[in-house]
Amino acid sequence: MYRKAAGFTLIELLLVLVLLATSAVAVILTLPAPKDDALKEEAQRFHYLVQLLGEDAMLNGRDYGVRIDRQDYRFFELAPDGWQPLKDSRYFSEVTLPDSLGMEVKIGSNAWQDDDRLFEPGTLFDEDLFADEKEKQTRPPQIIVMASGEFTPFTVTFDASGESNVWRVEADEVGQLHLLAPGETREETKP
């Protein structure tokens, strides 16, 4: 009396598992990377680099600066002849963001924001008169990191095109750096 075996062999089961794992890997690799992760990584990178720049400024007794544009940021050092780009630095080289990401800087803090200004911003001189000289000069940094460890109060906002979530890096009046997730406020990050 032969009894017919019902079920699958071990090899058949293992073959099905291998096929499922291979197809799962193929699907995962074709999924686009979430922009929020890239946004978070760029905000963290900027936060850590500026924090390291502050520590380097205190240890070496030098004044540094950071120049921020929409897609990139650069580091400068204050030399006797003005602001010079940091060269031959292991950590502080120019950083360019991916095309889908951008950043915006706001200098100062809420303590300095006052609509009742004594003077209107502007210039008394003809801007076009010195246009050639301005092109030769490097644009100065917006954020100053002093040898005492203090920062210019600032807020740098990292955003992705088409996204409403933004990451922020803020420095307050006493030089404390804060990395703020979307929707997070500085009061929530205090211990």
* 170: Cα separation from own chain's centroid: 11
Buried b (16+ CB within 10 A) or exposed e, 146-159: bbeebbbbbbbbbb
Among 28-42, 53-67, 114-128, 132-146, top mean pLDDT goes to: 53-67
pLDDT tens digits, one per residue of 71-111: 999 999 999 999 999 888 888 889 999 988 999 999 986 55
The pTM of this model reads 0.69
pLDDT at 8 (0 to 100): 84
Q: Is the pLDDT of residue 121 over 60?
A: no
Q: Mention every residue, 6+ apart, whose C-beta is less than 8 A from residue 55.
A: 149
**Ramachandran class of 27: left when φ > 0, alpha when ψ lies in -120 to 50, beta otherwise:** alpha
Say if residue 129's pLDDT is above 70.
no
pLDDT score of 136: 52
pLDDT at 137: 63
Q: Which CATH superfamily is domain 35-110+121-180 in?
A: minor pseudopilin epsh domain (3.55.40.10)
**Nearest residue to 79 via CA among 58, 92, 64:** 64
- Looking at residue 183, its pLDDT comes to 85
CA distance 25 to 59: 48
